[in-house]
Chain A
Amino acid sequence: MSLRDPEPTVYNERTALAWQRTALALLACAAIETRLALAPLGAVAVVCVVAAVPVVGWVMLASRQRYRVHSGASPTGRARGGRAPAALAAVTVLIGLTELAALLAGG
């Protein structure tokens, strides 16, 4: 009986899980920031959640698809792309800028 190297499967799974927990953390931060920034900024604060929800949903679906492609379960589909990192970084920056605006408005 030959032993297959488990590492490729492990790396694939670890990466998919990392994407998903980062996306969930981002959603939680966006929701909390929106809630706390409503008082100083008003309805503008909703931009955090409005931007985060579709990005998080897309990252969750894309990470699952990438996992299936790399594991061989799905024969087609694009395995990798650079848009997801940019989208996560952009929403994180948006949350930070919203909080800076809330600090300035509240101060």
Chain B
Amino acid sequence: MYGDGTEPDPRFSFANERTFLAWIRTALALLAGGVALDAIPLSIPAWLQQGLAAVFVVLGLLCAVASWLRWAQAERAMRRAEPLPASRIGVVIAVGVLLAAVALLASGLWG
């Protein structure tokens, strides 16, 4: 990748790296949420608790992989002076977290 195109403004590469690192920290936070759901006993069915934990862990995995792909695609686009790629991982994570939160809330209220 670094042999392709021309060297972009370092500030843009720095910004791309900081964005990637922010996504990695988001992935770690999602993993931490899954670990917490697994480790802390809650007054909800065990199958639901483990299922929600798995949802958060999978979201964290997707976030980590997508962040690295996005970083590489953005770096390549900058070097080729092409438009930056769109990223849909944010929508996926937002929907996933929302659904998990609704399930957790519903189980706590009516479980």
Contacts and interface: CB of A to CB of B under 8 A. Distances in A.
B11 A103 contact: no
A25 B68 contact: no
The residue among B22, B28, B72 with the most chain A CB atoms within 10 A of its own CB is B28
Given A96-B31, A103-B54, A106-B38, A14 B67 contact: no
The residue among A21, A26, A88 with the most chain B CB atoms within 10 A of its own CB is A88
Nearest to B22: A18
A71 to B, nearest CB: 11
Interface stretch (B58-66, B92-100, B103-111): B58-66
Contacts of B39: 36
Interface of B: 1-2, 10-11, 13-15, 17-18, 20-22, 24-25, 27-28, 31-32, 34-35, 38-39, 46, 50, 53-54, 57-58, 60-61, 64-65, 67-68, 71-72, 75
A103 B57 CA distance: 10
A81 B46 CA distance: 45
Instruction: Determine chain A's interface SS by DSSP, over half rule.
Output: helix
Interface string A52-85: 0000000000000000001000000000111001
B31 A103 contact: no
A50 B61 CA distance: 19
A14 B18 contact: yes
A89 to B, nearest CB: 4
